[in-house]
Chains A and B, each alone.
Chain A
Amino acid sequence: AQSVAQPEDQVNVAEGNPLTVKCTYSVSGNPYLFWYVQYPNRGLQFLLKYITGDNLVKGSYGFEAEFNKSQTSFHLKKPSALVSDSALYFCAVRDESSASKIIFGSGTRLSIRP
């Protein structure tokens, strides 16, 4: 069965420093991977997706993610963190049996200190 794992419950970064939020995946075929962000009391906002093509995917708000097939990872990155990036981040993979079913990780809370 497909799954994603987010090994860190929380990541703390100083403003202006680079940030990385880790995600590993497990699928039997080609993965369709996503990153979403959730602000308090809000729904999910799409950041970026990987379906095929370049391993470095650029998304919204200056975020990017690197797809690494050999390490089965899809880490989210940003060169310079902002306090406003503080939120809950979810990595997700599309279920191979249903294009409408997305399997989410447990989430990583990103905290950016001024």
Chain B
Amino acid sequence: DAGVTQSPTHLIKTRGQQVTLRCSPKSGHDTVSWYQQALGQGPQFIFQYYEEEERQRGNFPDRFSGHQFPNYSSELNVNALLLGDSALYLCASRSQGHYGYTFGSGTRLTVV
């Protein structure tokens, strides 16, 4: 049973560019959340997707957007990248009505 799969594992982008990160949830899970973990800090909630809609959003600017597909997989898009966007981006999935959150290994984004 595969867990949460994220791609790519590492990414280097230039300031001002746009990036797309991908996440496949654990089998049986239908809800996907995204987190940003800056170096030396705990993860911060970006947003959550369920039934292909953004349901809840953390304190992140509109440059951060996402999408969920019918197969429950999800994308995180970040526009106009800033140096401060450099972080580990984590995807977490769960099944509605349950509290078992499963995290992926993350995508390490470096903005230069």
Contacts and interface: CB of A to CB of B under 8 A. Distances in A.
A107 B41 contact: yes
Interface residues of A, number: 26
Contacts of A34: 101
Q: Determine chain B's interface SS by DSSP, over half rule.
A: strand
Interface residues of B, number: 28
B68 interface: no
A41 B108 contact: yes
Nearest to B104: A43
Interface stretch (B12-20, B42-50, B78-86): B42-50
A102 B94 CA distance: 12
Contact of B105 (A42, A94, A103): A42
Contacts of B56: 97-98, 100-101
Nearest to A95: B45
23 contacts: A36-B103, A41-B108, A43-B88, A43-B90, A43-B104, A43-B106, A44-B43, A44-B90, A44-B103, A46-B101, A94-B99, A98-B48, A98-B55, A98-B56, A100-B48, A100-B55, A101-B33, A101-B58, A102-B45, A102-B92, A106-B42, A107-B40, A107-B42
